[in-house]
Structure 1
Amino acid sequence: MKKIIAALFSALFLAGLLTVLNAADAQAQEKPTLRKMIAQMIMVGFNGSDPKTAKEAVSEAKYQRFGGVILLGKNISDKKNLTELTSAFKEAQEGIFIAIDEEGGRVTRFKDKEGFETFISAQKVAKTLDLAAAGELYGKMAQQLKDVGVNVNFAPVVDVLNPKSAIIGSRGRAFSADIDEVSLYASEFMRASQARGVIAVMKHFPGHGNVEADSHTAKVVIENFDYGELKPYFDAVRKNEAKMIMVGHIYLMQRDAELPASLSPAIIDGLLRGELKFDGVVISDDMLMGGLKEFTLQEKVINFINAGGDVMLFSDYKIDGRRTAELVTQLIVDAVGAKQIPKERIEEAYERIMKLKNSIK
Structure 2
Amino acid sequence: MRAFKFILFVAIFVLGLNGAEVSLRAKVSQMIMVGFNGASTKDAAFRAMLSDAGYERFGGVMLLGRNVTSKAQLKASIKAIKEKSPKIFIAIDEEGGNVSRMKDKSFDGPYPSAYEVASTLDIKSAYDLYSKMAINLKECGINLNFAPVVDLHDENSPIIAAKQRAFSEYASKVVIYADAFMDAFKEQGILTTLKHFPGHGSSKEDSHKNKSEVTLSKDALLPYKDAISTGRAQIIMVGHLFVKGIDDDNPATLSKKIITDLLRNELKFNGVVISDDMLMKGVGDEALAQKVVKFINAGGDILLFSEFKINNQRTADLITQIIIDAVNEKKISKERIDASYKRIMALKAKL
Provide TM-score, normalisation by structure 2: 0.93
Q: How does 1:123-138 map to 2 (within 5 A)?
A: 123-138=115-130
Q: Secondary structure at the match of 1:359?
A: coil
Q: Report the AA paired with residue 191 of structure 2.
A: I
Letter in 1 for 2:76: E
Partner letter of residue 142 of structure 1? A
Question: RMSD of the TM alignment (CA)?
Answer: 1.3
Q: Which runs of 4+ in 1 moved over 6 A?
A: 25-28
SS where residue 37 of structure 1 aligns? helix
Per-residue deviation, residues 218-265 of structure 1 (Å, max 9, x unmatched): 01112x422221000000000000000000000112211111100001
Unpaired runs of at least 5, structure 2: 1-14
Contact 1:77 1:114 (C-alpha < 8 Å) held by counterparts = no
CA shift for structure 1 position 95: 1.0
Alpha-carbon separation, structure 1, partners of 2:17 and 2:195: 37
Evaluate the alpha carbon distance shift between residue 27 and residue 156 of structure 1 in structure 2; reply closer, same or farther with a 3 A threshold: closer
State yes or no: 1:141 paired with 2:133: yes
Q: Find 1:318's aligned residue among 309, 325, 328.
A: 309
Structure 1 position 294, deviation (Å): 1.4
In structure 1, the partner of 2:272 is: 281
* Greater Cα shift, 80-89 or 323-332: 80-89
What is the aligned counterpart of 2:262 among 239, 256, 271?
271
Q: Which amino acid aligns with 1:136?
A: D
Post-superposition Cα deviations, 1:275-298, rounded to whole Å, max 9, x if no partner, equal 110000000000000102312110
2:25 pairs, out of 35, 53, 71, with: 35
- Decide whether aligned partners of structure 1 residues 72 and 345 sit closer, same or farther in structure 2, where only a CA change above 3 A counts: same
Structure 1: how far apart are the matches of 2:204 and 2:295? 24
- The one-character-per-residue Cα deviations of 1:16-74 (angstroms, maximum 9, x if unpaired) are xxxxxxxxx98863521101100000000012212222111011001010010000111
What per-residue deviation string (whole Å, max 9, x for no partner) do you get for residues 156-211 of structure 1? Answer: 00000011100000111000011100011101101111110111100000000011
Q: CA–CA distance in 1 between the matches of 2:202 and 2:299? A: 25
Larger mean CA deviation between 290-299 and 39-48 belongs to: 290-299
**Residue 64 (1) aligns with residue 56 (2):** yes
Distance in 2 (alpha carbons) for counterparts of 1:26 and 1:261: 34
Amino acid at match of 2:195: K
Q: Indicate whether 1:179 and 2:171 are aligned.
A: yes
Write the distance in 1 (CA, Å) between the matches of 2:89 and 2:40: 17
Q: Alignment partner for residue 345 of structure 2, among 336, 341, 354?
A: 354
Q: SS of the counterpart of 2:141?
A: coil
Q: Which residue of 1 aligns with 2:5?
A: none
SS in 2 for 1:103: coil
CA contact (8 A) 1:245 1:282 kept: yes
For residue 52 of structure 1, what is the amino acid of its counterpart? K
Within 2, Cα distance between the matches of 1:313 and 1:265? 18
Other-structure match for 1:231: 222
1:188 aligns with 2:180: yes
Could you tell me how far apart the structure 2 residues matched to 1:199 and 1:277 are? 19
- 2:240 matched residue in structure 1: 249
2:26 partner SS: helix
Aligned to 1:240: 231
**Aligned-residue identity in percent:** 49
| Residues 82-141 of structure 1, C-alpha deviations (whole Å, 9 max, x = no match) | 111101111111210000110011110122x35122211100111111111111111111
1:159 aligned onto 2:151: yes
User: In structure 2, how many angstroms separate the alpha carbons of the residues matched to 1:229 and 1:292?
Assistant: 21
- Flag the 1:82–1:127 CA change in 2: closer, same or farther, 3 A: same
- Whether the aligned pair in 2 keeps the contact of 1:99 and 1:150 (CA below 8 Å) is yes
Query: In the alignment, is residue 51 of structure 1 matched against residue 14 of structure 2?
Result: no
Query: Greater CA deviation, 323-332 or 113-122?
Result: 113-122
Aligned partner of 2:19: which letter? Q
Tell me whether 1:340 sits opposite 2:303 in the alignment: no
| Residue in 1 that maps onto 2:7 | none
User: Partner amino acid for 2:181?
Assistant: F
SS at match of 2:79: helix
Distance 2:42 2:208 in 1: 31
Measured after TM superposition, the shift of residue 330 of structure 1 is: 0.3
Deviates more, 1:293-302 or 1:151-160: 293-302
Amino acid across the alignment from 1:299: Q
**CA–CA separation in structure 2 for the residues paired with 1:221 and 1:238:** 27
Change (3 A) 1:246 1:26: closer
From 75, 84, 87, the equivalent of 2:76 is: 84
Whether the 8 Å CA contact 2:95–2:147 is kept in 1: the answer is yes
Within a 5 Å distance, the mapping from 1:191-230 to structure 2 comes to 191-222=183-214, 224-230=215-221
Q: Quick one: distance in 2 between partners of 1:129 and 1:246?
A: 26
